[in-house]
Amino acid sequence: MGTTGGGRRVGRPRAAQRPDSGLEPRAELLLAAAELFTTRGYAATSTRAVAERAGMRQASMYHYVSGKEELLAELLESTVTPSLAYARELLADDTVPAEVRLWRLCRTDVELLCAGPHNLGALYLLPEVRTERFAGFHAVRAELKDAYRQLIAATPAGGLLAKSELELRTDLVFGLIEGVILVHRSEPERPARAFADATADAALRITGG
Amino acid sequence: MGTTGGGRRVGRPRAAQRPDSGLEPRAELLLAAAELFTTRGYAATSTRAVAERAGMRQASMYHYVSGKEELLAELLESTVTPSLAYARELLADDTVPAEVRLWRLCRTDVELLCAGPHNLGALYLLPEVRTERFAGFHAVRAELKDAYRQLIAATPAGGLLAKSELELRTDLVFGLIEGVILVHRSEPERPARAFADATADAALRITGG
């Protein structure tokens, strides 16, 4: 067993990568960046600190990522893309009532925002995220918000709303869902499922009526 | 006029304070810190940069504040204390129905969070804010949340909720209100009043039923 493990490492010489982490180097870097950006702060974290935390030398890190900004961009997008993929599925499936699909999207999105050991949503408010470098994140986030808008518009109550009122309700629902980032920050121990269900119920109450 | 103005400045020698700003030095420092912390980031802003932005030397700054942390603590608390003062007034006035008082608190709180040229709520998610140094902010924020809980409990629908359900609804309403920080960040140009009214309506929908 020890020989096999040792043999594997000899066969794949990769400087100071942590043994037995089971992660690819890029995933290891993302995990290290998630931890350091949320606990020490983005500006206060050097690329070198990320590399060290991931168990590799700074020079090796540049084989896998271009730098800190790329890691931040990918972490931000990872908080949106799974919900966006699910939203696209839901939009395509009109055999299910829109309010049920909206409820499911809210629940899944909340669970995603509360998932993982680090509250990545806290990174949304970094001043750096306003810059053009993060246009990809803003684009997927806008697309997710548009999916919320379409599902709200497809509900019986949403279908009756004037355009400006539909925009307002969409902002409120989207704000409620993203507001979970702040609630989760204060109470990280709460079971995500019950809170996700309650948030989805609340989103439907905001939408209809 | 020129002589009077010049005479006033000679009478109150204050190193490099910006002339005619009309602000006290401490207020000038808070304004500079609000701008720099939200646009450049807290970790990336030096005390020296704050002093310079406020038009004074770093050494003079220490006459007014102990440093960057004190400025951050005061900025954070300033996003809560006016709403908390209003919440205390509302709690004391039981001649007005609880749902009306809750609605007013929501509206005022949203307007406060959207007020001012800088989105100070974005500072809530800084990793530094978790530390003991900011216990004062966490205490006033918890007190404000408790005022929401009491007002929700005093509404006809809230009075029927089990304790755990009351906690959940309070978290949802508080999350909706603070979620405004994220919505406002994306759409800073929107008129605050209409959005504040709509958010207060949504909070009542979450509470009751």
Cβ–Cβ pairs < 8 A, chains A and B:
105
Chain B CA closest to residue A37: B127
* CATH annotation of B2-74: 1.10.10.60
Q: For chain A, what is the mean pLDDT?
A: 89
What's the Cα-to-Cα distance from A51 to each of A34, A120, A136, B199, rounded to whole Å? 12, 19, 24, 44
pLDDT digits (tens, 9 = 90+) for A200-209: 999 999 998 5
Report pLDDT for A68: 95
Spatial distance between the Cα atoms of B16 and B18, rounded to a whole number of angstroms: 6
Instruction: Kindly indicate the confidence band of residue A113, based on its pLDDT and cuts at 50, 70 and 90.
Output: very high
Report pLDDT for A186: 83
Among A128, A175, A194, the residue with its CB nearest the CB of B183 is A175
Mark yes or no for CB contact A178/B182 under 8 Å: yes
Spatial distance between the Cα atoms of B209 and B41, rounded to a whole number of angstroms: 42
Task: Give the ranges where chain A is alpha helix by DSSP (H).
Answer: 2-11, 25-39, 47-53, 58-61, 68-78, 81-92, 98-114, 135-154, 163-186, 192-207
Candidate CATH numbers 2.40.160.40, 3.40.50.300, 1.10.10.60, 3.30.70.1070; the one for domain A15-67: 1.10.10.60
Report pLDDT for B208: 82
CB within 8 A of A129, min separation 6: which ones?
A72, A76, A123, A137
pLDDT at residue A112 greater than cutoff 70: yes
Report pLDDT for B77: 97
Backbone angles phi, psi at B67, to 5 degrees: 155, -165
Lowest mean pLDDT among A67-71, A187-191, B48-52: A187-191
The phi-psi region of residue B15 (left if phi > 0; otherwise alpha if psi is between -120 and 50; otherwise beta) is left
Mark yes or no for CB contact A202/B40 under 8 Å: no
Same fold, A15-67 and A79-207: no
Chain A CA closest to residue B127: A39
pLDDT at residue A50 greater than cutoff 70: yes
Q: And the tokens for B161?
A: 């909720």
Long-range pairs, B81-87, Cβ under 8 A, ≥24: B81/B140, B82/B108, B82/B112, B83/B108, B83/B109, B83/B112, B83/B144, B84/B140, B84/B143, B84/B144, B84/B147, B87/B144, B87/B147, B87/B148, B87/B151
Report pLDDT for B91: 98
Q: Which CATH class is domain A79-207?
A: mainly alpha
What's the Cα-to-Cα distance from A65 to each of A26, A132, B26, rounded to whole Å? 7, 18, 44
pLDDT digits (tens, 9 = 90+) for A137-161: 999 999 999 999 999 999 999 999 9
Interface of B with A (CB under 8 A): 38-44, 121-122, 124-128, 168-169, 171-172, 174-183, 185, 187, 194-195, 198-199, 202, 205-206, 209
Q: pTM of the entire structure?
A: 0.87
Measured in whole angstroms, the distance separating CA B135 from the mean position of its chain's CA atoms is 15
Report pLDDT for A190: 80
| Low-confidence stretches of chain B (pLDDT beneath 50) | 1-18
pLDDT digits (tens, 9 = 90+) for A116-133: 888 999 999 999 999 999
Instruction: Kindly indicate the confidence band of residue A82, based on its pLDDT and cuts at 50, 70 and 90.
Output: very high
Among A40, A125, A185, the residue with its CB nearest the CB of B185 is A125
Spatial distance between the Cα atoms of B128 and B195, rounded to a whole number of angstroms: 30
Contact A42, A68 (CB under 8 A): yes
Name every chain B residue with its beta carbon within 8 A of the beta carbon of A206: 202, 205-206
Q: What is the ipTM of this complex?
A: 0.85
Residues A144, A146, A147, A153, CA torsion sign: positive
Report pLDDT for B8: 43
Report pLDDT for B20: 54
The residue extents of the domains of chain A are: 15-67, 79-207
Contact A136, A186 (CB under 8 A): no
pLDDT at residue A37 greater than cutoff 70: yes
Burial class (CB in 10 A: 0-12, 13-18, 19+), B113: buried
Averaged pLDDT, A77-91: 97
Angle (CA) A113-A119-A124 rounded to 5° is: 80
Averaged pLDDT, A26-48: 95
